[in-house]
Structure 1
Amino acid sequence: MNLFQWLKPAKRAKTPDLTPAQLQRLSQLPRATALSEKPLRQQRWVVLDLETSGLNMNSDEVLSIGAVVIEDGAIDLGQQFERTLLRPDHKLSPSVLIHGLGPSAIAAGSEPVEALLDFMAFVGDSPLLAFHAPFDQHMISRALKESLGYKLQHAFLDVAEIAPLLCPHACLRRAGLDDWTGFFGLQAEERHHASADALVTAELALILFSHARRQDIDSPARLEQCLAKWRRRQQSHSF
């Protein structure tokens, strides 16, 4: 860094313009908790899927959020979340049309600040699951930071890593959600729709939790530890 760069004032992050009511809701959001040692069946999980305007994690936007809850060892269909984060004046793009977000969905879209506050209230202090979680984690974290000034600190586990960790016999390398649902005989009614993808990911997660228990991996903390070891093995084999 040269002298002129050092003297140049750093850019300040833009502070979101929130109403007093929104600031109060933000302050009341539960804090994230560490993954517990209690059995997997006793953990409430939020399974997340996002539809985005593209795959660029730094410039594309979250279009919609779909989430479902796993609690008491089952999918609780009474706890589902779905929001479209598009304003009525949002221009249609090819990606919007691909995801089925036509004019009617856009017209019913929620203002991002309210939608994200609703989502984090829905999540509470629960850990999150997603398929290819690093992408969803980055995108939702960026949206929360830009719209709310909120830093996401919740645990985020990747079902795309849990599956090969627990089922190496499947011999599925770099497999997608369709590959794993096909392997286990699951039927997805609709794909490339956030709520439907979240639901089938939750169904896959329940199957994997059953495999985990049979392998004496019966707590969220233990599962995270095994995933960390599995990642290190994968990295060492890649060299």
Structure 2
Amino acid sequence: MSLFSWLRPAQPMLPEEVQQRVESLLAPSALGECSLREQRWVVLDLETTGLNLNKDQVLSIGAVVIEDGAIDFSQQFERTLQCDKQKLGPSVLIHGLAPSAIAAGSHPAEALLAFMEFVGDSPLLAFHAPFDSHMLGRALKDYLGYRLQHTFLDVADLAPMLCPQANMRKAGLDEWIDWFKLQVFDRHNASADALATAELALILFSRARQQEIQSPLDLQQRLGQWKRRQQAPSL
């Protein structure tokens, strides 16, 4: 045994059928030169027990698909995950998730595996994507021993990049919904927030095309350049 083997977290012991499903998951595709309209995007929102990246847990997953330039309502995902009652905090009240609903939820491993099968090889969009990416990645590692490598683009960065006239660099989802005058009748649960984020993303894709950003790869590269400029020290 290696001297440092105890530092590595143990791999979860999975039933053979589950392990086979994990091994059959599609590898993520790199963003390419197809048009923004042709790309299949999975728009994700997570509800969690809190905001601690290392301790809090995923409570629910909501996702919708953008494909062929529109939200495809035939492709939606919603799942509540079981969670230890001791880990439930005040955020549960905000999400509207009753303890009974959480107790009756899916086992996290099953819910997470079903979600990754739903994602396939598609890139992901989220509002404040680094948080969702980290929480989802940690849950997948803990419950399935799976390493998340899918591309995430952050709608919270795309919006100010493509709409600098709004002058809202650090705005939240509600503020962008108000700025674009979107009619959103439900918020603060995973599915509703994923849908609101998808509606915002469609507007932003239209703005991107107006700015000669035609492909997912173009969008990713332009976003990277914009973020580096934002982080550069001002002279």
TM-score (norm 2): 0.95
Unaligned runs of 5+ in 2: none
Aligned-partner SS, 1:42: coil
Matches within 5 A, 1:32-111: 32-87=28-83, 90-91=85-86, 92-111=88-107
CA 1:97/1:126 → structure 2, altered by over 3 Å: closer, same or farther?
Answer: same
More moved, 90-99 vs 161-170: 90-99
Q: How do 1:105-184 and structure 2 match up within 5 A?
A: 105-184=101-180
Aligned partner of 2:224 in structure 1 is: 228
Secondary structure, aligned partner of 2:29: coil
CA deviation profile, 1:141-197 (whole Å, cap 9, x unmatched): 000000000000100000000011111011112100011111000122221100000
In 1, Cα distance between equivalents of 2:4 and 2:180: 57
Cα deviation, 1:69-127, whole Å, max 9, x if unaligned, reads: 0000000111110111115x635532222211103422430000100110000000000
Deviations 1:188-225 (A, max 9, x none): 22211000000000000000000000111011100000
Question: Is 2:186 the counterpart of 1:197?
Answer: no
Helix, strand or coil at the partner of 1:160: helix
Of the three residues 23, 30, 38, the one matched with 1:27 is: 23
Question: Offset at 1:238?
Answer: 5.5
Q: Secondary structure at the match of 2:212?
A: coil
SS of 2:42's equivalent?
strand
- Distance of 1:144 and 1:9 partners within structure 2: 21
Task: Tell me how many residue pairs correspond in the alignment.
Answer: 233
The one-letter code sitting in structure 2 at the alignment partner of 1:94 is P
Report the identity percentage. Answer: 66
> Which whole-Å CA distance do the structure 2 matches of 1:200 and 1:45 have between them?
14
SS in 2 for 1:58: coil
Question: CA separation in 2, counterparts of 1:146 and 1:7?
Answer: 22
- The alignment yields a C-alpha RMSD, in angstroms, of 1.6
Q: Stretches of 4+ moved more than 6 A in 1? A: none
Q: Deviations over 1:12-56 (max 9, x none)?
A: 321112101100111111111100110000000000000011111
Q: CA deviation at 1:7?
A: 6.0
What is the Cα deviation at residue 237 of structure 1?
A: 4.4
Q: Relative to 1, partners in 2 of residues 1:21 and 1:176: Cα closer, same or farther, differing over 3 Å?
A: same
**TM-score in terms of structure 1 length:** 0.93
Question: Aligned to 1:14, which of 10, 14, 22?
Answer: 10
Contact 2:59 2:102 in 1 (8 A): no
Matches of 2:4 and 2:62 in 1, distance apart?
42
